Amino acid sequence: MPILPIDAGRYGTDVMKEIFDDQKKISYQLEIEAAVAQSQSEIGMIPKSAAQNIAQMARSGKITTKRVKQLEAKNDHDTASLVEALSEICKSSTRPWIHYGLTSNDLVDTSNSLQIRDAIRIIEPKIAKLAIILAELAVKYKEMPAVGRTHGQHASVISFGLKFANPALEMAKHIERIEEIKKRILICKTLGVVGTGSLMGAKALEVQKRVARKLALFPADVTTQVVPRERYAEYVFHMALIGSTLEKLAVEIRNLQRTEIGEVEEPFKKGQMGSSAVPVKRNPVKSERVTSLSKLLRSQISVTFENIPLWHERDLSNSANERFILPTSPILLDDMLETMTKILRELYINEERIRKNLEFTMGQIFAEFVLEALIKKGVPRFEAYRDIQRVAFAASENRIDFRYAVKNDDAISLHLTEKEIDDIFVPENHLGASSQIIKNVYSIVKKACIKFS
């Protein structure tokens, strides 16, 4: 029976979870056995007939999880059980050459790389899709003034499109990061018990190079019995980094959906219930899901760092936890990408509320621009600053419109005409370089994502 919510189907897509299925893992490891045998035969290390038989049987689909587990119940070793299951269906003359020169972790670590490779093939296009959606939203709302907030307070006018441009660019950068780390994390290792390639001798590196090419991986330069765990730490870190960007976006959506802000709203389908007790609630549960999973994903990083310092040429202190971490990290990230994509595709943006929120402070959001206007008139910065602060605080206390207060203050109106003051309080006049920034971001995103279109 399913124990974890991933097993129960609550999180993760079927296509991602299939990569980490027990039978699929066996298929990866058998493919490595086939590639090794073929590579060894190409340079005369083992008979061609043996390599052909090994490859044929490894790819036959006859070796099942059930049989491997039956053997494991006797010998208590999963990899040895797989090798024994392969031996059972190969010719007797072939059996001496099965798994020749290899150790268990040649299969384990190289199959990890195959799983990581295929997980990335699922994740990258989804990152690209999300980046494009965000970039298009940025372009759509580039001319819309909105409240920019710092410390949770109204600070100045922002283009609403910038709220999408920022994560759009980071998604594009995540694609760059993944492409950069592939050569370090997609490692093929076939160098035997302590990383010397002892049984294959001087030809060990050539075998490994050929196997790596066949599996679309990169040959290891140096290993112990295992691939250095720095590689897995880097991989999981990058999965969590992408997750944190998604969480940043989710937190922004959650905040903008607050009742008192109300600028956006997650899609809410017919028949959906926001609360079992309060019928009127529409909670940002999808964004909260992304936030929650991001915390779990980020927690995996610390364990991968603990796995780096193993004893001598290796011990097993990393093995059990990696059976959780390496599948869990991409499964969680894949779920988060799917969820955020669904949110953004149907995100409701309340343009009326965005405009109304600009008026919430009764004009005080334009204080930065009043300060700028006075400075340009030759008023010393801190003199102008204190005058504006004095007027603003008094206007807040008395619930007076800031524009009215500015016009009626002798110290400020001495330097600014009524028209100049009125022009300051037009939000569209204060979008700065937003349009060009968004245009630049859109161009970068399109370029980064073109291979996935």
pLDDT by position in tens, the chain (length 453): 788 889 888 999 999 999 999 999 999 999 999 999 999 999 999 999 999 999 999 999 999 999 999 999 999 999 999 999 999 999 999 999 999 999 999 999 999 999 999 999 999 999 999 999 999 999 999 999 999 999 999 999 999 999 999 999 999 999 999 999 999 999 999 999 999 999 999 999 999 999 999 999 999 999 999 999 999 999 999 999 999 999 999 999 999 999 999 999 998 777 666 666 666 678 899 999 999 999 999 999 999 999 999 999 999 999 999 999 999 999 999 999 999 999 999 999 999 999 999 999 999 999 999 999 999 999 999 999 999 999 999 999 999 999 999 999 999 999 999 999 999 999 999 999 999 999 999 999 999 999 997
Residue-number span of the structural domain to which 208 is assigned:
104-357
User: Could you tell me if residue 1 is inside a domain?
Assistant: no
Domain boundary among 72, 97, 122: 97
Measured distance CA(103)–CA(194) in Å, rounded: 9
Q: Which of 49, 60, 93, 275 is catalytic?
A: 275
User: Could you tell me if residue 444 is inside a domain?
Assistant: no
User: Whole-model pTM?
Assistant: 0.94
Q: What pLDDT does 278 receive?
A: 66
Instruction: Return the residue matching tokens 């590579």.
Output: 39
Return the amino acid letter for 204.
Answer: A
Of 37, 79, 80, residue with least CA distance to 56: 37
Vertex 353 angle, CA 267 and 273, to 5°: 30
User: Could you tell me if residue 271 is inside a domain?
Assistant: yes
Same domain, 62 and 156: no
Q: What pLDDT does 2 receive?
A: 81
Per the annotation, the verdict on 77 as an active-site residue is: no
Vertex 449 angle, CA 448 and 452, to 5°: 140
Same domain, 30 and 111: no
User: Could you tell me if residue 64 is inside a domain?
Assistant: yes
User: Could you tell me if residue 376 is inside a domain?
Assistant: yes
Same domain, 305 and 181: yes
User: Could you tell me if residue 310 is inside a domain?
Assistant: yes
User: Could you tell me if residue 443 is inside a domain?
Assistant: no
User: Could you tell me if residue 221 is inside a domain?
Assistant: yes
Same domain, 353 and 368: no
Domain boundary among 67, 97, 127: 97
Q: What pLDDT does 4 receive?
A: 85
In angstroms, the Cα distances linking 55 to 41, 48, 85 are: 11, 10, 14
Are the C-beta atoms of 185 and 113 separated by less than 8 Å?
Answer: yes
Which CATH number belongs to the domain containing residue 51 in this structure? 1.10.275.10
In angstroms, the Cα distances linking 105 to 111, 113, 114, 125, 190 are: 9, 12, 13, 30, 8
Domain boundary among 357, 388, 412: 357
Per the annotation, the verdict on 275 as an active-site residue is: yes
Same domain, 31 and 155: no
Are the C-beta atoms of 16 and 33 separated by less than 8 Å?
Answer: no
Question: pLDDT tens digits for 15-36?
Answer: 999 999 999 999 999 999 999 9
Which CATH number belongs to the domain containing residue 349 in this structure? 1.20.200.10
Same domain, 171 and 40: no
Domain count within the chain: 3
Same domain, 215 and 323: yes
Same domain, 307 and 193: yes
Same domain, 347 and 370: no
Q: What pLDDT does 276 receive?
A: 62
Same domain, 236 and 378: no
Q: Which two tokens stand for residue 260?
A: 């008192």
Of 123, 117, 120, 114, residue with least CA distance to 26: 114
Same domain, 188 and 264: yes
**Residue 4 per-residue DSSP state:** S
Same domain, 318 and 368: no
Q: Which of 151, 276, 312, 453 is catalytic?
A: 151
Pairing of strands 218-219, 264-265: unpaired
